[in-house]
Chain A
Amino acid sequence: MNWRIWALQKSPWVYHVNAGACNNCDIEVLELLTPRFDVERFGITLVGSPRHADALLVSGICTRQIAPRLQDLYAQTPKPCVVFCIGTCACARGIFHDSYHAAAGPVDEVIRAVDPAATILYIPGCPPKPEAMILGVVKALRALA
């Protein structure tokens, strides 16, 4: 196994990006850190800079104003990294599919525009329950191995 992937699996640090969400997914992400779910016991922690992160948790439809900044954030994240599309908006734009302020594509297309080989995973739900997010991260880390 690639030693970088091995290190990433051990204790993934995540950076949270709100790409034009309604706040729900973001609150549920914070919920993961608080006592009931407390993912920090698995070594998962939120960091303040994408340069420290192993994974990006992206929520929201990716608005036109966010799209170039999301690409910047992706470029700043050390590779290999994993992008989690959290919530229906990030996966497929959901209820906002016909918004005039949405970028050319949902989050995965915007990121694939700069890195066609990016590892992107989807956790749908509006918002996904914290349990679903934990399951998604666990499945992703298993799949990487």
Chain B
Amino acid sequence: MTRTVLPIGPFHPLQEEAEFFQLYVDGETVVDMDVRISYNHRGIEDISTRRTFDQVPYLVERVCGICSASHPLAYIQAVEELAGITPPERSLYLRTIVNELERLHSHLLWVGLAGHFLGYNTVFMWAWKYREPVLDLLEATTGSRINYANAKIGGSRRDIPNELAPRILSVLSELEGKLEMLTGAVLDDYVLHLRTKGVGVLSREDARDYCVTGPTARASGIAIDVRRDDPYAAYDRIEWNVISAAEGDVFAKAKVRLLECFESIKIIRQCARQLPEGPIEVPVAAIPPGEAVGHVEAPRGETFHYVVSDGGPCPARHKVRAPSYVNIPSFKAACVGQPLADVTIALAAVDPCYSCTERLAVALDARTRRPLYTFDDLVRLSQEKTARLAREV
């Protein structure tokens, strides 16, 4: 069988991040695919071992610009577990509000980009227009549109004044009406049904085998959500539902994300009404030696941080597992067998975030802590093999 290799990237207008895809096509059908990463690799886990515990949240919120509330919160929960710190009640509500605002803006961003990939630029412009009031709320509550730096070890950095609660509520009710219109326009559109139903299907079995998380898993009928399964912040004090769908296609993923926006609005509304009085932070002493994990439901799925402390000022080891890292390999299940024109939206349906995913592994000898093979070793091995073969000949 002759196969044509179709290179996409690393710089391509499809997504704003650099990524290199190789699609193997037979006629119009994709038969296999490969992906090269590491254009965005910045070595955050390594840099983090040279920053103090309270500086690391500012670093990890730059793992990915969109999840810039979830990553620091996962790290902070790990450190709080390690040091046995209980953050005050009010700060838990503040964290919930900021995380849900982040989910709102991230899901709206995705809906817009998905509309753009399908050639439906009206949806792109609408979704991004309705996203702006959410960013304004984030700016009002945390001081920045993006990169909020709101959570800190032992509480929250900045309080939401009680006078702001009515404004949050009024912006949300205005947004809710517009979102209903947008959801109707997207979910009832016949052309969009043709383009997204049955496209890029990730079956329940595949979803389980690839260990996908977040909306990608929930759209394939696996209703997992860290917010419900292992509640953090104030999620266990509030009424809300986990949205899931059974189909696993692009339409189901869009539906799950759009309906989750309404749940987010519900959560923020309850938090703003029930915001308890009290301090927003507790004093933190030195971080004792030990290890801990923290996980948070980021907009794309579960983000997981593992922190080791040796009693010093900096983490001795910090491991980040971002949701896109487990979601991106499911491309292979969703894209193979699809016509070329549907690959774009099947790729985008996972809401991939490459800056979360880029990482580098070095194999170390468990005893000596030295790299097993360096580049020079590989050159040496290659030269030795040539010499050996030359002798045999």
Interface residues of A (CB under 8 A from B): 16-31, 34-36, 46, 48-50, 60-61, 63, 65-66, 69, 73, 95-96, 98-102, 126-127, 129
Interchain CB contact under 8 A, A28 and B146: yes
For residue A23, which residues in chain B have a CB less than 8 angstroms away from its CB?
16-17, 64-66, 353, 355
Determine if A34 and B16 form an interchain contact, defined as CB atoms under 8 angstroms apart.
no
Whether B11 lies near A73 (C-beta < 8 A) is yes
State how many angstroms separate the Cβ of A11 from the closest Cβ of chain B: 19
- State the CA gap A75–B355 with chains docked (Å): 26
Task: Contact check, B146 vs A34: say whether CB atoms are below 8 A apart.
Answer: no
Binary A-proximity of B210-242 (CB < 8 A = 1, otherwise 0): 000000000000000000000000000000000
In the bound complex, how far is the Cα of B58 from the Cα of A69, in angstroms?
Answer: 29
Contact B47 A99 (CB under 8 A): yes
**Contacting residue for A26 out of B16, B129, B360, CB 8 A:** B16
- Which residues of A have CB within 8 Å of B290? none
Q: Taking CB as reference atom, which chain A residue is nearest B67?
A: A23
Residues in chain A near residue B64, CB distance under 8 A = 22-23
B59 at the interface (CB under 8 A from A): yes
B354 to chain A, nearest CB (A): 8
Among B36-44, B155-163, B170-178, B248-256, the stretch in contact with A: B36-44
| B380 interface residue per 8 A CB criterion | no
Residue of B nearest to A17 (CB): B11
Closest 9 interchain pairs by CB?
A24-B65, A23-B65, A48-B13, A34-B128, A26-B16, A35-B129, A22-B62, A99-B43, A22-B65
Min distance, Cβ B134 to any Cβ of chain A, angstroms: 12
CA A20 to CA B128, docked complex, whole Å: 24
CA distance A23 to B109 in the complex (A): 12
A27 to B18, CA, bound (A): 14
- B112: which A residues are within 8 A, CB to CB? 34
Chain A residues closer than 8 Å to B147, beta-carbon distance: 24, 126-127
Q: Mark B19-48, 1 if CB is under 8 A from A, else 0.
A: 000000000000000000011111110110
> Contacts A26-B16, A28-B146: A98 and B129 contacting too (C-beta < 8 A)?
no
